[in-house]
Each structure stands twice: as structure tokens, then as C-alpha cells.
Amino acid sequence: MQKSELLNKLVNSGVVAVIRGDDKEQALKTVDAVIAGGITAIELTFTVPGADQVISTLSKKYQDREDVIIGAGTVLEPTSARLAIINGAKFIVSPSFNSEVAKLCNLYCIPYTPGCITPTEIQSALAYGAELIKIFPGNVAGKGAIKAYKGPFPYVNIMPTGGVDLDNMAEWFKAGASVVGAGSNLTKDAATGNYVAVSEMAKKYRQKFEEIKS
């Protein structure tokens, strides 16, 4: 699949679920619960023990689901990026911009979404081929930042992460977000093993996005 197709798939998903976990089993169950609830873009963070193996398992499990896209998050350097990609990750997300990760993702034709919060960081990321910018932390930058960023960078695609929840998701899209990242607010019940609740929350996020899109 071409980079542009992967990027479109990511943006069209509406909500990217940021998945963390204390171990592989918890992470896998959380992903399954989120996908069951209708959120099909998964950012499996490298803070999960054995994250590359979890990505491999998920990529094989959902390879026949055209709507599901599995990526890696909290990727800080190119070694982790390559490890994620060879295990099936279809996009790479970082909390900050790293030029070596950007070059590696370009080499493998994989979308790279770096975390940025200043115009300088955004310009550097765009210069290295990033087509979707993660505004992180979103609750620090604020919704008004998106309009400000789009002044000098009118065509930039933005994904706010951190501070996105059901109550303010519509405001983020109204502000100009292309897609949003949702973490602890979406998956918090996984910590107590209540994966049914995780699925229910994912359904609410999906329904909210459908309402916004319509």
C-alpha cells in the first residue's frame, strides 16, 4: 500500500487510539476491545513491553480487515522505527520530531507523525516529508493553536493528542484537526481489566465522530 493511501486511511479513521499497557496481554486485549468498539486506527506505543511483538501479532490478526491500520507510537529513534515497520507497523508516531526517524519512514514509504508544538518544529517536520503533524501535548497548545499554525502552514494536516475527550472532540475538529488521538480517556478501564467498558467507550467515540462527520 502506498504512503498516500496509508495516510488517507489514518485520517479517514477519525480517531487514533493510543494504546499503552503494563504487558503484552493487556495491550492486546485493549486493542481488541477498541477495535470491537469501532475505533480501527491503533497507535501501539513502544512503552509497552515487547511492543514490536505486539505489533507483529496485531498485524497478522487483522491483516484481512481493510479498515484496521496498526501503527507504532512513542518511537524516539530510527532503530525502534525500523523494528516497528518490519513487524508490520503502517505508520509511526513520535512525541517529538526526529530527522533520522523521518528519513527512515520515507525510505520505507510509511507515514511519520511527529509531535510538534512550535512553528519551527512544524517547518522542520514538513521539510523532512511529514504529512500529518501531531500537536502534542494538545491540552498545552490549545485548540486555538491549530488556526495559528495554519496561517503560515495552510495545508498542514494536524492530529491533536493529549487533552482530547468525548466532550471536546467536536471542538478540535471545528478548530481544524484532520484526525484526533485519544489515549487514557478512551482506554482507562483496561487498567482494571474491564475490556467491555473499553469497547463501550470506543463505540461512543465512534458515534461522536460519525455525528461530527455528518
Q: What is the DSSP string of 91-160?
A: -EE-SS--HHHHHHHHHTT--EE-EE-SHHHHHHHHHTT--EEEESSHHHH-THHHHHHTTT-TT-EEEE
Which residue range is the domain that position 47 belongs to? 2-213
Please state, as a whole number, how many other Cβ atoms lie within 10 Å of the Cβ of residue 127: 10
Which pTM was predicted? 0.96
Task: Give pLDDT tens digits along the chain (214 positions).
Answer: 689 999 999 999 999 999 999 999 999 999 999 999 999 999 999 999 999 999 999 999 999 999 999 999 999 999 999 999 999 999 999 999 999 999 999 999 999 999 999 999 999 999 999 999 999 999 999 999 999 999 999 999 999 999 999 999 999 999 999 999 999 999 999 999 999 999 999 999 999 999 999 8
Count how many domains the chain has.
1
pLDDT in tens, 13-24: 999 999 999 999
pLDDT in tens, 124-157: 999 999 999 999 999 999 999 999 999 999 999 9
Dig out the grid coordinates for 213 from the structure: 462527520
CA distance 200 to 194: 10
No. of helices (H) and no. of strands (E), the chain: 11, 9
Active site residues: 43, 134
Q: Point out which residues pair with 29 in neighbouring strands.
A: none
Which helix (DSSP H) or strand (DSSP E) does residue 69 occupy?
Answer: strand 69-73
Assign residue 21 the CATH number of its domain.
3.20.20.70
